[in-house]
Amino acid sequence: MRLILLGAPGSGKGSVADLVTRAYGLPRVSTGDLLRHAVRERTPLGIRAEEAMRAGRLVPDDLVIALVGERLAAADARRGYVLDGFPRTIAQAESLARLDPGRPEIVADIVAGEDVIVRRLESRRVCPRCDAVYNVVSRPPRRAGFCDRDGEALVQRDDDRPEVVLNRLRVYHRETEPLLGYYGARGALLRIDGAGTVEASFAELRPAVEAALASGAKGAAA
Ligand code: AMP
Active site residue 124: yes
**pLDDT of 222 strictly over 60:** no
CA distance 50 to 38: 9
Work out the percent of the chain whose per-residue pLDDT is above 70: 97
Query: What size, in residues, is the chain?
Result: 222
**The ligand 1 atom nearest the CA atom of 159:** 10
Q: Which DSSP helix (H) or strand (E) runs through 109?
A: strand 105-111
pTM: 0.94
Of residues 39, 132, 30, the one with CA closest to residue 86: 30
> Would you say residue 219 has pLDDT above 70?
no
Q: How far is the CA of 60 from the centre of ligand 1 (A)?
A: 10
Instruction: Indicate if ligand 1 lies below 6 Å from the C-beta of 165.
Output: no
Q: Which of 28, 88, 120, 125 is catalytic?
A: 88
| Residue 212 CA, ligand 1 centroid: distance in Å | 27
Q: What is the pLDDT of residues 6-49, one digit of tens each?
A: 999 999 999 999 999 999 999 999 999 999 999 999 999 999 99
Query: Cα(18) to centroid of ligand 1, in Å?
Result: 17
Nearest-CA neighbor of 11 among 154, 207, 177?
177
pLDDT computed for residue 207 by the predictor: 96
pLDDT digit string, tens, across residues 100-113: 998 999 999 999 99
The alpha carbon dihedral of 155, 159, 165, 171 has a sign of: negative
Contacts of 83 (CB under 8 A, 6+ apart): 2, 3, 4, 5, 29, 68, 96
pLDDT tens track for 158-201: 899 988 999 999 999 999 999 999 999 998 799 999 999 999 99
Which atom of ligand 1 is nearest the CA belonging to 53? 12
Confidence of residue 218 (pLDDT cuts 50, 70, 90): low
SS3 45: helix
Distance, C-alpha 167 to centroid of its chain: 18
Distance in angstroms (rounded) separating the CA atoms of residues 90 and 82: 18
Report the alpha-carbon angle 10-15-19, nearest 5.
155
Mean pLDDT of 192-216: 94
Burial pattern 91-123, b for ≥16 Cβ within 10 A else e, equals ebbebbeeebeeeebbbbbbbbeeebbbebbbe
